[in-house]
Chain A
Amino acid sequence: MSFLEQVGKAAIVQVEDAGALAMQFWSVVRKLPRLLPIVGARRRWCSTVQQMLAIGASALPMSGMMSLCTGFILALQGASELRKYGALEFVVALVAIGFTRELGPLITALSVSGRSASAISAEIGTMVVTEEIDALRVMGLDPVEFTLAPKYLAALITIPCLTILSTLCGVFAGYLFLAFSMDMSLATYFHAVAEAILLRDVGFMLVKSLVFATIIVHVGCLEGMRVRGGPEAIGHATTAAVVKSTFLIIFADLAATAVFYLMGWSATT
């Protein structure tokens, strides 16, 4: 196969992936109202709550610890340079802005991607192999509504919450560093943090976390639904889900940051 043919084939695969993701996204979004309590289908919201516990609550310790460590690293590295210019207090702005705009959503998404994208693809892949998805269809139940939509709604609720908590952990790590190195009080630190970040930074963080939640769940579900064969295929699907969702999260982050910068929203006043 020539180089051009290889490039063409790879491009077709990527376009097919994008098309399949878009179609799946639309079919899941259409089913979201059915998951709501009272107005939705009977007891369907229960599965959303189960998924919120699986995707969100159990990921909190890991993403919190990762943010705490990263916040400390950022403060240490920033301080070593800023100290030369007598601007150690700018560590507050570095950590606060860095975490709110970038690291909070990114670290949360990467930790959830590693846990949940693989778990989702393995669960759905197993359901495909054991004919559970076929059984749902034959019973007249929609697999999208029954399996995919609760996961997506759960991720839309929990991942922004996780992002806020993990950003707070990262920012708190900055306080720990400054409390030891400059004897800064908690009140002074958080006052400086409040001055450094703007409401649009928080909005940007939440929008990014929603985009990342969409990527994690839909890539996991799509890879799971594509499983054909036996247990080996499920292994391939979980690997593909983690690799693709991690790449797409970083790519989406780059695109979002570029838009943020080009729109002139990166100014701190």
Chain B
Amino acid sequence: MSYGGRNVLDKVDLDVHQGEILVLLGGSGSGKTTLLKNVLALAKPETGSITIHGVDITGCSQSELGAVRRSIGVAFQAAALFNSLTVEDNVALPLRELTGLADSTIKLVVRLKLLAVGLSDAGSLYPPELSGGMRKRAAVARAMALDPEILIFDEPSAGLDPIVSAGLDELILFLKRSFGMTILVVTHELESAFRIADRVAMLYKGRLIAVDKKEQFAGNGHPRIRQFLDRQPDAMPRVAAEEFIAAYMEAKDDD
């Protein structure tokens, strides 16, 4: 996968096992979002294949893709709730549009989903009336509406305080335990990653540099993984540092 001649993803080979939580780590610009877009069939890779439930989504028909998409729920980074609809209507949307269920059944399913994410009292609220954590939970409820086998979380902890973030981690673990879902989490929050993951994968400059159980991953000696886990900054380029000092001295002399 490339943009403007620059390879964003290259030779990525990754399996997600049924019933596990796989956390995909990576810094900014590592290709996480592009990989997610590929998996969700929002962007087509130039080469290679992505197989979900035995269907290669890079070359399947629209009806096959629709069936695959029904088995996947996605909680987007910004929640992506529709502001003109209440939380209940947001969760009910895929049920109304994609199933022939009666309204009474849809109401019941919506109530159950909101109960599962701890939002049973917030159904009549509109998304702008919700806190950041509630919006993420509402997004999870909508992602679960069609009882998907796979749940995908894009940066679930982004913009949340540590307490709300920990609550969301608990919710992800609860969903795995209770519904046996296969869960893929894209994040760069280390604490959250090691709390929920069965396995951890890491992308660096578009390449997958490690996929391992979280205990083995924590001990991985790859310099980039160590730098990431130890939260070490990139060294400032020498020329840039010298230029900075020269500019600083010049400014000081002018004063």
Tell me whether A140 and B69 are in contact in the complex, defined as CB-CB below 8 angstroms, given that A42-B96, A43-B96, A132-B82 are known contacts. yes
What is the CA–CA distance of A43 and B85 in the complex, to the nearest angstrom? 14
**Please, which residues of chain B bring their CB within 8 A of the CB of A130?**
78, 80
Our pick among A43, A132, A138 for the contact of B74 (Cβ within 8 Å) is A138
A134 within 8 A of B: yes
Residue pair A131, B97 in contact (C-beta under 8 Å): no
Residue pair B42, A134 in contact (C-beta under 8 Å): yes
A53 within 8 A of B: no
Residue pair B42, A137 in contact (C-beta under 8 Å): yes
What is the CA–CA distance of A141 and B98 in the complex, to the nearest angstrom? 8
Residue pair B69, A135 in contact (C-beta under 8 Å): no
Residue pair A139, B94 in contact (C-beta under 8 Å): yes
Q: B178 to chain A: closest CB distance in Å?
A: 22
The B interface, classified by DSSP as helix, strand, loop or mixed, is mixed
Residue pair B97, A132 in contact (C-beta under 8 Å): no
**Please, which residues of chain A bring their CB within 8 A of the CB of B78?**
130-131
Our pick among B70, B72, B80 for the contact of A131 (Cβ within 8 Å) is B80
The A interface, classified by DSSP as helix, strand, loop or mixed, is loop
Residue pair B93, A139 in contact (C-beta under 8 Å): yes
B77 within 8 A of A: yes
What is the CA–CA distance of A216 and B76 in the complex, to the nearest angstrom? 31
Residue pair B98, A139 in contact (C-beta under 8 Å): yes
Q: B52 to chain A: closest CB distance in Å?
A: 13
Count residues on chain A whose CB falls below 8 Å from chain B CBs: 13
B40 within 8 A of A: yes
What is the CA–CA distance of A139 and B68 in the complex, to the nearest angstrom? 10
Our pick among B74, B97, B98 for the contact of A135 (Cβ within 8 Å) is B74
Residue pair B77, A131 in contact (C-beta under 8 Å): yes
Residue pair B77, A138 in contact (C-beta under 8 Å): no
B66 within 8 A of A: yes
Interface residues of B in 40-83 (CB under 8 A from A): 40, 42, 66, 69-70, 72, 74, 76-78, 80-82
Interface centre among B66, B69, B74, B80 (most CB of A within 10 A): B80
Residue pair A140, B76 in contact (C-beta under 8 Å): no
Interface centre among A131, A132, A141 (most CB of B within 10 A): A131
A207 within 8 A of B: no
A41 within 8 A of B: yes
Residues of chain B touching chain A, judged by Cβ–Cβ distance below 8 Å, are 40, 42, 66, 69-70, 72, 74, 76-78, 80-82, 93-94, 96-98
Known: A134-B76, A139-B97, A140-B66. 17 other contacts (CB 8 A): A42-B97, A43-B96, A130-B78, A131-B76, A131-B78, A132-B82, A134-B40, A135-B76, A137-B40, A137-B42, A138-B69, A138-B72, A138-B74, A139-B69, A139-B98, A140-B94, A141-B94
11 contacts between A and B (CB under 8 A): A134-B40, A134-B42, A134-B80, A137-B40, A137-B42, A138-B40, A138-B42, A140-B66, A140-B70, A140-B98, A141-B93
